[in-house]
Chains A and B, each alone.
Chain A
C-alpha cells in the first residue's frame, strides 16, 4: 500500500532527547542500580551482593505491610475520586462565565504546593484550633495523632480534596468534546439520563478516564508529602506510604543498598502495573484483523492519542 521508501534518518532528531534523558533519568537510575547490587561502605570498599538486597526488600515485613497499605489506599482513592470526579464534571456549567468560574474554583486545589496542602490540613484538622478538627469533634471523638482510623480517613479526605479536581477537569474536557448530535440522538431515542450516561458519555469518556485512573493510581501510589506533613505516617505506621518508608530507610537508616533495591522494585511495579492496565483497557481498540476501510483509518488516527499519553505518563513517573 505504501510504496514510498521509508526514510529512517528522522531518528537522529530524537538523539538530543535521548541524551538529555540519559542525564536526567538513566544515569541517576544506574546509580541506584549500582547501590542495589553492591554493598558500598566507602569509595574503595564495596562488595558485590547480587540480588541479596532485592530478597531482603521482598521479604521485609515492614515493606510488605507498607505495600499492602499503600495499594489499599490507592484503591480506595480510585473508588472515591473517579466517580466523584465524574459526578462533579457532569454538574459543571457547560458555557458562559459560570463555566469559567467553575473551572477556576476546580483548579485551585491543583495549584497549591503539596507541602502547603499538608500544612493547611495539619492545622485544619487540629482538635484544639483547627476549623475541621473542632467541628468534627462536636459530633464524635476525633484525634488523628492517636486514632488510626481518624488518621486514615483524614488522608483519604485530604487527597480527595486535593486531587478529585484533576479527575473532574479531565472528565469535563472529555464531556465537552462529545458532539451535541449524540445528545440529540439520545433525546430522540427517548434515552433516560442514566442511559445517556451509560451509552453516550461513558464510552466517549473511556480514554479520558483511563488517563485519570492511571494518573491517580500512580500519584497515590507514590504519595509522600501530604501524609508526611499531616500524620508523619502514624499513628504507628498506619498511614505510612511506601514513599515515606523508603525515605526512612534511605535517609533515616542510611541503608542505601536496601533503599536502592526498594526504589528499583517500586519503580518497576508502577511501570508494569500501568502498562498492564493500559494494555487491558485499550485491548478492543487495537487494529484487528478487519479490513482497513477509510473509517478504520480514521479510528487508527484517533488511537495515536493514548500513545501520546503513555509517553507523558512515563515522564510523570520520573
Chain B
C-alpha cells in the first residue's frame, strides 16, 4: 500500500518530436480507486507503464511513498499490472500461471496454493485451473491474466489496463463489482483504465480524464458531470455530450452572430470563446431564454431528447418524459446559470454563464 506521486512526468516515444504524454504532476492517494478515462491513443497505457516502471519517463520523476523510484526497475516497485490483452504463459497450466508471480517472489508453497484458490474462486475459474490457457476462450484468458495481477497480496498498487474489454456485458458487471469489493476489502491503491465512462464512474473514487496526452480534469464523477473544466470533459462524459457554440465575448457579454447568448459571471472577458451547456441543463421556459425550432424528438422512456436548431447551430436538450412540443414548432429554452460555461481558446472553462435578460431574442 502506497502513495504514488508523479512530478512533471512526460513521455515521448520518438526522442522528443511528439509527446505521447504531456507533463503531469499529481498524487495517487493510498488506498483509493482511480479510473483513468480517455479515448484510444490518449496515453493511458503509457502512463500506467511509467507508474509500474515498464517505461522510464523521458521527463519527470516518480515517487512511491516519498521515495524516488524513477530509476527503480519494475520488479522492485512491487506493483501489479493487468494488461489490455491477455498475456499468458502458454506452456503453463492456468494454475501455474497464477502461481508464477508468487513463486518468483519465493512465497511459501502452502500460501501460494491458498492464494491461487482464493483468486480462482473470486474470478470463477476453479474448474479451469488445470487446463492450458491456450485452450480457453479469449474472455477466460483475459480473466486468467487478470488473476495473475490479483494474486499477489502485498502490492503497493494494482494497475488495470482495460481489463474487462473482451468480457461479455453480464459477467463484466459481476466482475467489476467483485474487483470493487476486493479493493474495499484490501484497501490497495487501484488505477483502472477504461474508455467506458459508466465503468469509470461506477468503479472509482476519483476519475481522471485524459485527452491527447494530457490530464484534462480529475474529480468525482459528479463534479465531472456538473462542472466540466475542459471542453473535452463536457464532450466525453455524459450522453449525449455537451452542446457547444462559438461565441464572441465583449466585456463578458457573449454573442453568436451578433445575437446575445448570455453573460459570463467573470468580468472582462473579450474575444473568441466557446459556450457550453449540457443537454440536462437546457431548461424549457415560456418566454425567456433562446427561441429554437424543434427538429426532432427522441422519446427514451424516462426522458426525452429534443433536437433543437436556431440559425446556424443545433443543440440537444434532455427533458422530463412529460415534456410536450410540436416538431417544427417554436420553443423557448433557457439554461441553468450555474451549469453553463464559457471556455477559452485552450478549451479551459473560465466562467459560468447566465442567460441574457428576460425575453431576449
B50 to chain A, nearest CB (A): 12
Beyond A185-B83, A295-B134, whether A191 also contacts B104 by CB under 8 A is yes
Interfacial chain B residues near A200, Cβ < 8 Å: 89
B135 on interface, CB distance cutoff 8 Å: yes
Inter-subunit contact B100/A182 (CB<8 Å): no
CA separation between A295 and B87, bound complex, in Å? 14
- The contact string, 1 if C-beta is below 8 Å from chain A, for chain B 78-114, is 0111010101011110000000110011000000000
B136 on interface, CB distance cutoff 8 Å: yes
Inter-subunit contact B54/A184 (CB<8 Å): yes
Inter-subunit contact A295/B91 (CB<8 Å): no
CA separation between A182 and B101, bound complex, in Å? 14
Beyond A181-B83, A195-B104, whether A187 also contacts B137 by CB under 8 A is no
Beyond A184-B49, A294-B138, A295-B138, whether A199 also contacts B89 by CB under 8 A is yes
Interfacial chain A residues near B49, Cβ < 8 Å: 184
Question: Which of A181, A195, A199, A295 neighbours the largest number of chain B CB atoms within 10 Å of its CB?
Answer: A295
B75 on interface, CB distance cutoff 8 Å: yes
Interfacial chain B residues near A195, Cβ < 8 Å: 104
Beyond A188-B81, A295-B137, whether A199 also contacts B92 by CB under 8 A is yes
Interface size on A, residues (CB 8 A): 23
CA separation between A41 and B18, bound complex, in Å? 80
Question: Which of B80, B81, B89 neighbours the largest number of chain A CB atoms within 10 Å of its CB?
Answer: B89
- Can you name the residue of chain B whose Cβ is closest to the Cβ of A191? B104
Q: A295 touches which one: B52, B54, B83, B141 (CB < 8 A)?
A: B141
- The contact string, 1 if C-beta is below 8 Å from chain B, for chain A 161-194, is 0000000000000000001011011011111100
- Can you name the residue of chain A whose Cβ is closest to the Cβ of B100? A189
A101 on interface, CB distance cutoff 8 Å: no
CA separation between A296 and B136, bound complex, in Å? 9
B73 on interface, CB distance cutoff 8 Å: yes
Question: Which of A179, A181, A200, A204 neighbours the largest number of chain B CB atoms within 10 Å of its CB?
Answer: A181
Interfacial chain B residues near A294, Cβ < 8 Å: 137-138
A200 to chain B, nearest CB (A): 7
A27 to chain B, nearest CB (A): 45
Interfacial chain A residues near B91, Cβ < 8 Å: 199, 202-203
B263 on interface, CB distance cutoff 8 Å: no
CA separation between A187 and B80, bound complex, in Å? 10
Inter-subunit contact A181/B87 (CB<8 Å): yes
CA separation between A5 and B76, bound complex, in Å? 59
CA separation between A192 and B101, bound complex, in Å? 11
Inter-subunit contact B87/A182 (CB<8 Å): yes
Beyond A200-B89, A299-B134, whether A191 also contacts B54 by CB under 8 A is no
Interfacial chain B residues near A199, Cβ < 8 Å: 89, 91-92, 100
Q: A187 touches which one: B75, B105, B135, B148 (CB < 8 A)?
A: B75
A253 on interface, CB distance cutoff 8 Å: no
Inter-subunit contact A190/B101 (CB<8 Å): yes
CA separation between A190 and B53, bound complex, in Å? 12
Inter-subunit contact A188/B73 (CB<8 Å): no
- Give 17 A-B contacts (CB < 8 Å), ordered by A residue: A181-B85, A184-B49, A184-B54, A187-B74, A188-B54, A188-B74, A188-B149, A189-B104, A190-B105, A191-B104, A199-B91, A199-B92, A202-B91, A204-B90, A294-B137, A295-B137, A296-B135
Given contacts A184-B87, A187-B73, A204-B90, 19 further A-B contacts (CB under 8 A): A181-B85, A182-B87, A184-B81, A184-B83, A187-B53, A188-B52, A188-B149, A189-B104, A189-B148, A190-B75, A190-B101, A190-B104, A191-B104, A199-B92, A200-B89, A203-B89, A295-B134, A295-B137, A296-B135
Which chain B residues have a beta carbon within 8 Å of chain A's beta carbons? Answer: 49, 52-54, 73-75, 79-81, 83, 85, 87, 89-92, 100-101, 104-105, 134-138, 141, 145, 148-149
Closest CB pairs A-B (n = 3): A190-B104, A185-B87, A189-B101
Which chain A residues have a beta carbon within 8 Å of chain B's beta carbons? Answer: 179, 181-182, 184-185, 187-192, 195, 199-200, 202-204, 290, 293-296, 299
